[in-house]
Amino acid sequence: MAEHILETKQVINRSREETFEFFGDAENLERITPPELNFKILTPRPIILEKGSLIDYKLKLRGFPISWRTEITEWRPPYSFIDSALRGPYNQWIHRHTFEELEDGTTEITDVVKYRLPFEPLGDLMHWYVRKELDYIFGYRYKAVDEILNT
């Protein structure tokens, strides 16, 4: 049984507080997710994020509808937060978001996702494909965040 790790880093020309505020607004998830995923937040708005907050989503992955529920399991503004999937396509999905203010006033965003695929160990045979999809989704996210916050 394999735990896989995806890590990305990005520097934003905004303060840590401004950057965290953007990511602390759950509605921005729709703005930074590829449109072909038809990502929609189902939780009634406004969504107040704090430890224990639950967020329900739906999306389509390669045409298959997926329901997803995450819980905010750690909330440390403006430094970090963790969302963990309670329901979704993965056996495990733990996503840590960290915000480090750099000396020049910019902020480095680090995303670390620890995930396990369903149907282990057979599901791990498809990891190459899943990783390609995740790289695309996080690549899109990187570009969207850059366009929104580095303007």
- Assess contact for 71 and 54: CB atoms under 8 A: yes
Q: Is 37 helix (H, G, I), strand (E, B) or coil?
A: helix
Name the phi and psi angles at 94, rounded to 5.
Answer: -125, 115
- Rounded distance between C-alpha atoms, residue 68 and residue 89, angstroms: 8
What is the Cα 79 distance to its own chain's centre? 16
Domains assigned to the chain: 4-149 (3.30.530.20)
Q: What is the pLDDT of residue 124?
A: 82
Q: What is the pLDDT of residue 103?
A: 95
- Assess contact for 5 and 114: CB atoms under 8 A: yes
Q: What is the pLDDT of residue 63?
A: 82
Per-residue tens of pLDDT for the chain, all 151 residues? 689 999 999 999 999 999 999 999 999 999 999 999 999 999 999 999 999 999 999 999 878 899 999 999 999 999 999 999 999 999 999 999 999 999 999 999 999 999 999 887 777 888 988 999 999 999 999 999 999 998 7
